[in-house]
Amino acid sequence: MFFPDLIQFGEVSGIEADDRIVDPNGTFSDQIHVGLFDDSFQTDQQFDWIVMLDVLEHIPDAITALKKAAQLLKPTGRMLLTVPAFNLLWTKHDDYNHHMTRYTKSLMTKQATEAGFQIDNQHYLFHWTFPAKLLVRLKERFSKQEPGPATLPATVPNKMLKMLCRFEQAIFTPLRPPFGSSLVVSLSKHSITGS
């Protein structure tokens, strides 16, 4: 839940498709629409920012979802999203999580442009996990194990992996390597949306 971090920047609203995740008695429950990001979500609000972190890959019609996001943004509104990168890295984890696709910069550019956005910046993240995901995919070729939920590593390995990610973001990500297991994208509204 990012609400406690985001609330310092202004009023925050959210959308969650899985009602099991939203505590009806939670602090922010009245600010969360439980349902899909489709026509069932109706609001008169216009937003300065829309943030979709690992959301778009779950939506069957991503372009329609992006168009809806563009309609919800103010004329100067911005959007930040992350998506998994490269279908080459497709594993059972993607199947288990009902992903529609993994993205490349070119696919994101095509969909965003068609939806009326212009891409201000996009680059790949988690470069070290690219070869790790390839190894997982290779292992899965010889494994009959059914996909299941991801589990966190033990505390010490998890802290080490977190440090590795931070080191990578400080040293390698600014060099913009053409690969990674995730893609982060910053968008703004384009004139064809009518704004």
Q: Residue 128: give its domain's CATH number.
A: 3.40.50.150
Euclidean distance between CA atoms 193 and 195, whole angstroms: 5
Provide the pLDDT for residue 194.
44
84 within some domain: yes
Residue type, 121: N
55 within some domain: yes
- In the chain, the number of structural domains is 1
Provide the pLDDT for residue 1.
61
Provide the pLDDT for residue 192.
44
Residue 166 phi/psi, 5-degree rounding, is -65, -40
Parts of the chain with a pLDDT under 70: 1, 190-195
Task: Single out the residue of 33, 21, 95, 98 nearest to residue 59, CA to CA.
Answer: 98
Per-residue pLDDT tens digits for 132-156: 999 999 999 888 888 777 788 899 9
Provide the pLDDT for residue 81.
97
54 within some domain: yes
Provide the pLDDT for residue 195.
42
Euclidean distance between CA atoms 1 and 21, whole angstroms: 10
- Containing domain of residue 119, as a range? 36-190
59 within some domain: yes
62 within some domain: yes
Please give the model's pTM, rounded to 2 decimal places.
0.88
167 within some domain: yes
6 within some domain: no
161 within some domain: yes
Tokens of 120: 């201000």
